[in-house]
Amino acid sequence: MIVAIANQKGGVGKTTTAINLAAALALRGKRTLLVDLDPQANSTMSFLDMQTVTRSVYDAIADPTVPLADIIRTTSVGNLAVAPSRIALAKLEAKLVGELDAHFRLKDKLDQVRRTYSHVVIDCPPTLGLLTVNALVAASHLLIPIQSSYFALEGTDDLLETIEKVRSRPNPALQILGVVITMHDKRTALGRDIRAQIQKVFGGKVFKTVITKSVRLEESPAYKESIFTFAPDSSGATEYYRLCEEVIDRA
Ligand SMILES: Nc1ncnc2c1ncn2[C@@H]1O[C@H](COP(=O)(O)OP(=O)(O)OP(=O)(O)O)[C@@H](O)[C@H]1O
Ligand SMILES: [Mg+2]
């Protein structure tokens, strides 16, 4: 199973969802690879010391002769490995201009490690550019985090259009696994309204598990930990664990 976590809107909880879903899968004994495709490298920083990251997904994607395994790093979490990002990834688009296989580079690299990992989670950047398209072409499933906010659904049309384009040619097998509502505040009328609105648009695709707003979730990456070791009794830990169960059930 290869899950891309994508939404071109910035700051909606993609990275928080990617790191904690990957950690939850690993905790459940699944051999998991977290691929950081965002030049901001936030997923990478959540598990690794950036000073030790000398090679990144960029090196493997830009050079067909570099195997993905060469850049993959183990983490302090059992069963969890990371394919790290560096700012160099921002140069990828320019580097691959004119390459006929530009959209298939990540897929080809992941094919090399399919026997090593049962689950791959890809953290996408907040764009619909070449990096996100590479993730959608490589993925079996797409998970869309939507922030519980007044403008929650703005931009989802563009995302759905991109998904349809990818499905029509390079990856007809791509499935929308689901939509997860993040940073939710169930105490306010606005929060409840937004949830209803998202459910109206995405229906049964919306996960039953909703991720509520939580300071612990916000803090955990700074300590290079997932929510499961940083604050195992927090609402965020319970919610991401439940989301992981739903993900496994749906796939
Ligand atoms: N449930 C939550 N409760 C409180 N804060 C959260 C929650 N989820 C994410 N955040 C915080 O919101 C900010 C944005 O989250 P995150 O980095 O996961 O979003 P993103 O979609 O990956 O952003 P970008 O588009 O920049 O990659 C971060 O500071 C994160 O710590
Ligand atoms: Mg992010």
The residues lining ligand 1, judged by C-beta closer than 6 Å to any ligand atom, are: 10-16, 38, 40, 42, 126, 182-183, 211, 213-214, 217-218
Ligand 1 centroid to 15 CA: how many Å? Answer: 6
**What pLDDT is stored for residue 223 in this prediction?**
95
Give the three-class secondary structure for 186.
coil
208 within 8 A of 233, measured Cβ to Cβ: no
Q: Give the Å distances, CA to CA, from 188 to 15, 39, 180, 208, 241.
A: 25, 35, 19, 19, 24
Q: Which ligand is located closest to the Cα atom of residue 19?
A: 1
Q: In a mutational test of the pocket of ligand 1, which residue from 15, 46, 123 has the highest number of ligand atoms less than 8 Å from its CB?
A: 15
| CA nearest to 120, candidates 92, 71, 81, 89 | 81
Ligand 1 centroid to 182 CA: how many Å? Answer: 9
- Ligand 1 atom nearest the C-alpha of 145 is 21
Q: In sequence order, what are the beta bridge partners of 143?
A: 5, 178
Token couple for 78: 């059992």
**What pLDDT is stored for residue 62 in this prediction?**
97
- Ligand 1 atom nearest the C-alpha of 221 is 31
Q: How far apart (Å, rounded) are the C-alpha atoms in residues 187 and 72?
A: 42
**Cβ neighbour number for residue 29 with a 10 Å cutoff:** 10
Ligand 1 atom 8: residue of nearest CA? 13
Tens-level pLDDT at each residue, the chain (251 residues): 999 999 999 999 999 999 999 999 999 999 999 999 999 999 999 999 999 999 999 999 999 999 999 999 999 999 999 999 999 999 999 999 999 999 999 999 999 999 999 999 999 999 999 999 999 999 999 999 999 998 999 999 999 999 999 999 999 999 999 999 999 999 999 999 999 999 999 999 999 999 999 999 999 999 999 999 999 999 999 999 999 999 999 99
Over residues 111-168, the pLDDT tens digits come to 999 999 999 999 999 999 999 999 999 999 999 999 999 899 999 999 999 999 999 9
Q: How far apart (Å, rounded) are the C-alpha atoms in residues 32 and 46?
A: 16
Say whether pTM exceeds 0.85.
Answer: yes
What is the residue type of 97? Answer: V
